[in-house]
Amino acid sequence: MWKGMGLGKREQQTMWDLNGALGASLDLHSVLKDAYRLLLPLVGADYGALAVTWSERAGEYEWIAENLPPAFFGSYEAMAPHDFVHSSVQAKMQIVVCDSEMIDRRAFERNMMYHRARELGSPIEQVIAVMLHASGGLQSGLSLYRKRRRPFTEREQRMLQLLTPAIANAVRNCWLFAKEARPAKQIEMVHPAPQVPTVLDARLTPRERQVVSAIIRGLSNHEIAEELGCSLNTVKKHVQHIFEKLGVESRQMLRYRARRGA
């Protein structure tokens, strides 16, 4: 499978281990955490971020990241119009693209995302990314970053390209499983809202606890706004504050921590 790439035994073993990790669970957060541990060293990246959205929540992204601060994603709505990565890969399904193919270096260093990452102490100097899905109700993309200015090599790009089908399949399988497991609206109405674990509860305002409870039930920002009788922007601000207080990057991570009560 890896013949012709000149991979060493350790790299080949890592590739096999990665394929195993990607199929080891149907919990996307668990899968990605294990995969990042292997993938980042393999391609020489420092950070990783998977963005997921679907038709019912178009524009509301779930983030599963490694080594990037939650505040970076908390400000994504403002950065979205400047996201050159998304605009570059969306027309190249499952084709790995390096930053040099996305944007001129001078424009890169003027970009809002570049400066926001530096403000947060997590500089992004190089990017490699791939659009995994953009149809069937699911859209997802994976980006890997370097904090030092050293371009990703063609060999590193090829390694990520070889792994892309397995990553895409893992994301889709986890998403389909989660979709089937989401409770129906009528079931949500019969059962009481889940309690926010005490460890999380202590850090939040009463309103933020209501928002967390709604997120645990799988509600979107629009649905939370309707339920609480407030504006969509107010809900988004609550979600941003919750992520910052609890140190999570996504709804999925929040639900994962809530299940563990930590």
Domain boundaries of the chain, sorted by first residue? 9-181, 185-260
Mean pLDDT, all residues of the chain: 85
| Strand, helix or coil for residue 129 | strand
- Side chain identity, residue 2: W
CATH architecture under which domain 185-260 falls: Orthogonal Bundle (1.10)
Report helix, strand and coil shares of the chain as percent, to nearest 5: 55, 15, 30
Q: What is the pLDDT of residues 176-211, one digit of tens each?
A: 888 776 654 433 433 444 556 655 666 788 888 888
Distance CA 103, CA 193 (A): 46
Q: Which of 182, 186, 173, 99 is nearest to 140 (CA)?
A: 173
CA torsion sign for 257, 258, 259, 262 is positive
pTM of the model: 0.73
Of the two residues 32 and 217, the one the predictor is more confident about is 32
The CATH label, of 3.30.450.40, 3.90.1150.10, 3.40.50.170, 3.40.50.2000, for the domain at 9-181 is 3.30.450.40
Phi/psi of residue 236, nearest 5 degrees: -60, -40
Q: Which of 6-15, 26-35, 162-171, 247-256 has the lowest mean pLDDT?
A: 247-256
> Residue 127, SS3?
strand
